[in-house]
Amino acid sequence: MSSESHPLIPNGALQCLLGSESIGAEDVEQDHEEEVESLLASLQDLGVHCRQEPGTTANSATDDVDEDDNSVKKQKLDLNMAKKHLKKASEQVVVANTLQEYQRYWEQFVVFCAEMGFVGEADELETCDHGIPEDVPTWMAVWIMNKADELDIYTGKPKGLTVSRVKYATAQKMRAAISHKFGRDFGFGDQPWTQNPATGKFTGNPSLSVTVSQYMISLQRRKPSS
């Protein structure tokens, strides 16, 4: 990675990404496995509102059960059904909140890319009809770096005390949002980030690229307590 091959990437960010290239293949592979597991779990959780709870019948009481027993059973049944409905409603709230959070991070990402000059307009990243830009993984890393890293993307030096930065857990959510966008909305799932040797175009989920994995590992090691 060099300034010649990435002329729009600030020098401080380039130096940081160059430093993260020392992360070994074994660590990258483990990161990939963890990210894939997280992505698949997320996709499954986000589909929970489409699943129906098993039906429960209320006519299991026999004719020889007295009215008091029937009343007690009905109360228990009503309580169980209420709990199920509450749980289902809560799951839907979690799903909605997660999707909103992912969408908010995605919008921040595309705006950042436009502001940095990576793309002409933010909506250029809203479709993959003409292929995925080769540098999306690098843009992801710089975006997260700008928000979470202790180092400034322009100078490569520590940020001032008054400059806010998010915790590593938030950086993981930012990555997850992009992973979800390409995995679910664009349909790449957990497909690795690869280049087609015939066309030269890149495909797959950029969140599973070596560049993003190396940077996230580097960030975690430098922010162990966040």
CB 206 within 8 A of CB 137: yes
Domain-located, residue 68: no
Mean pLDDT along residues 86-98: 60
What's residue 9's pLDDT? Answer: 94
Q: Residue 155 belongs to what domain range?
A: 11-47+108-222
What's residue 128's pLDDT? Answer: 78
Domain-located, residue 78: no
Mean pLDDT along residues 194-207: 92
Q: Say which residues have a Cβ less than 8 Å from residue 183's Cβ, sequence separation at least 6.
A: 39, 43, 189, 190, 205, 207
For 39-66, the pLDDT digits (tens) are 888 877 665 333 333 343 434 444 444 5
Residue 91 in this model has a pLDDT that exceeds 50: no
Domain-located, residue 94: no
Domain-located, residue 86: no
**What distance in Å separates the CA atoms of residue 46 and residue 42, rounded to the nearest whole number?**
6
Strand-strand pairing, 194-195 and 202-203: antiparallel
At residue 70 the predicted structure's pLDDT band, cuts being 50, 70 and 90, is low
At residue 26 the predicted structure's pLDDT band, cuts being 50, 70 and 90, is very high
**What distance in Å separates the CA atoms of residue 17 and residue 54, rounded to the nearest whole number?**
50
Domain-located, residue 53: no
Domain-located, residue 208: yes
Mean pLDDT along residues 98-108: 94
What's residue 2's pLDDT? Answer: 47
What's residue 131's pLDDT? Answer: 83
Residue 106 in this model has a pLDDT that exceeds 60: yes
CB 190 within 8 A of CB 36: yes
**What distance in Å separates the CA atoms of residue 62 and residue 40, rounded to the nearest whole number?**
45
Domain-located, residue 153: yes
Domain-located, residue 28: yes
Predicted structure pTM score = 0.76
At residue 3 the predicted structure's pLDDT band, cuts being 50, 70 and 90, is very low
Q: Say which residues have a Cβ less than 8 Å from residue 46's Cβ, sequence separation at least 6.
A: 95, 98, 99, 180, 184
CB 198 within 8 A of CB 4: no
CB 183 within 8 A of CB 154: no
Residue 140 in this model has a pLDDT that exceeds 90: yes
- Count of domains forming the chain: 1
